Amino acid sequence: MSGYSFRRPGRLLLRIYLVGLTQLVLVSGVLYLARSLVLERPFKHGFVRNVQYNVSEWAQLRNDPEALQESLDRAARFLDAEVTVRDASGRLIATNMSQPTPPLNPDKVASLTWPAPGQGPGPRPGAPPPGPFPVLTLPIPEQGPVEGYVSISMRPPGPPAENTTFIVAAVLVCTAITSLVFARTLAGPLQRLAQVARDFGAGKLDTRTGFRRRDELGEVAEAFDEMAGRITHLLRSQKELLANVSHELRTPLSRIRVALDLAAEGDADTAREMLTDITEDLSELERLVDDVLTAAKLDLSSEGSTAGAPPLRNERVDARALVDKAAGRFRTSRPTHTLVVSVDEHLPALDADPVLLRRVLDNLLDNAGKYSEPRTTVHLHARATGQGLQFEVVDQGIGIEAADLPRVGTPFFRTDRSRARKTGGVGLGLTLARRIVDAHGGTLTLESRPGEGTTARITLPAAPTGGQAESVSASVHA
């Protein structure tokens, strides 16, 4: 069935079912006990005693047909009893019924006995099938050979009004108790959720529900806590971003202002000497602004928004040409390092944005050069994998502490706490590289040991091979 799937009932729904079932069981139990105590036991006791008394009277009147018939008629009027009197042979003596009870065979007549004291009015051995009311067949006389028998049925009495009130009240009390218990199991957690939501909306970002329930309410509370954690992390990240951008902008702007003040004072030689530093400061500012804007656009693109976030400019990219361009730039900017490039003979093409991918490789190679000593070796590998392509940059640098490795890639986080101008950068390069790789459907992982070096590994999916292939771009944008 398309568009619809069956879902197993949850714990809250099961709880509702169980509460309803419990109420039904309790109400049924109360009604059963009430029927047994209020109706059946008194009726059975009174029925047997009345029958025994009347049968004794009818046994004395069986030789007086007129008096016997008058007694049976009184039983019909006052007791609503249906009576048939027969002799041992089955001959009808008297009855107050339009259709007398059928006679019994001799064997069944011989087996009739009087019920023991307290015994219920169920059919005796050999009695006729019960009708709509309880039927009792007793022999005449009580002791000795059977000379006749009486079959009698009597309508049960209706419950008194006060007993009906008691039953209804008991049912309502049971229902009210179970409903109250069930309502408290729902109302308390819901009120707690509402209060936590209000507190969180009022700015108490550390507020959490703290529920540990294994039902739908527990799932809602857990989902709220997870949402609150993500929102709190997002707000803190925005504050950290604002603080770090302000910090990174302050230093180059201060140096530029000092140079301009010197120039304004007429010290042209000193101002001219600082032009190189001003140029570097401006380049640093441009790189910072460009990194922040690119990271923001990639975030918008990954969230499905297209406002201000143009899609990746994908084209068919030759991986070997991409590696050659990145290697050439690294050798130019880091002449004191040795770069060893290893590329498989057959590499799959990539469907990617070549400018952004070049930026990723340049960033990883720059980091390898920054955090390793001159005259050390940096390795760049490109190899085919089962479903795509893998790039690997390996250095022999200072490495990353195990405590810092999970935070590498967080905006403005740097393992070099000094933020020295020697290493440069503002801690956005690896963050941007990870987001670019994610936007291309790949993964970026880091492996590092302090004092031994770091390995950065990128895995990207290969370009589709079906359909009309686009021409491979032989040149990669600088």
Task: Please give the pLDDT value at position 39.
Answer: 53
Pairwise CA distance, residues 183 & 179, whole Å: 6
Task: Please give the pLDDT value at position 10.
Answer: 55
Task: Please give the pLDDT value at position 250.
Answer: 76
How many other CB atoms sit within 10 Å of the CB of residue 247? 12
Q: Please tell me the pTM assigned to this model.
A: 0.46
Task: Please give the pLDDT value at position 17.
Answer: 64
Task: Please give the pLDDT value at position 409.
Answer: 57
For the chain, the 3-state helix, strand and coil shares in percent, each to the nearest 5, are 50, 15, 35
Task: Give one DSSP letter per residue of 376-395, joined into a string.
Answer: -EEEEEEEE-SSEEEEEEE-
pLDDT in tens, the chain (478 residues): 444 344 454 565 566 667 777 777 777 777 777 666 655 555 555 566 667 777 888 888 888 888 888 888 888 888 788 888 888 888 898 998 888 888 888 888 888 887 665 554 444 444 444 445 567 788 888 888 888 888 888 765 555 555 666 766 777 777 777 777 777 777 778 888 888 889 888 888 888 888 777 877 888 888 888 888 888 877 876 776 677 677 667 777 777 787 777 777 766 677 677 777 777 777 777 777 776 777 666 665 555 444 444 457 888 888 899 999 999 999 988 899 999 999 988 888 888 888 888 888 988 898 888 888 888 999 999 999 888 899 999 998 888 776 666 656 555 555 554 444 444 444 567 777 888 888 888 988 888 888 888 888 999 998 877 543 444 343 344 4
> Per-residue pLDDT tens for 398-428?
887 766 666 565 555 555 544 444 444 445 6
Report the Cα–Cα distance between both ends of the chain, in Å, rounded.
Answer: 53
Among residues 451, 447, 438, 322, which one has the least CA distance to residue 397? 451
- CATH topology (fold) of 11-154: Beta-Lactamase (3.30.450)
Geometric angle at alpha carbon 433, from 431 and 438, rounded to 5°? 95
Among residues 77, 130, 75, 122, which one has the least CA distance to residue 101? 130
Task: Please give the pLDDT value at position 158.
Answer: 55
Among residues 284, 357, 367, which one has the least CA distance to residue 326? 357
> Per-residue pLDDT tens for 292-334?
777 666 665 555 444 444 457 888 888 899 999 999 999 988 8
Q: Is 216-302's fold the same as 315-461's?
A: no
- 315-461: CATH class: alpha beta
- The domain 216-302 having CATH identifier 3.30.70.2200: the answer here is no
Helix extents (H) in 404-456: 429-439
Q: Contact 23/173 with Cβ under 8 angstroms?
A: no
- Would you kindly state where each structural domain of the chain is located, as residue ranges? 11-154, 216-302, 315-461
Pairwise CA distance, residues 344 & 358, whole Å: 19
Question: What's the mean per-residue pLDDT of the chain?
Answer: 75
DSSP symbol at 449: E
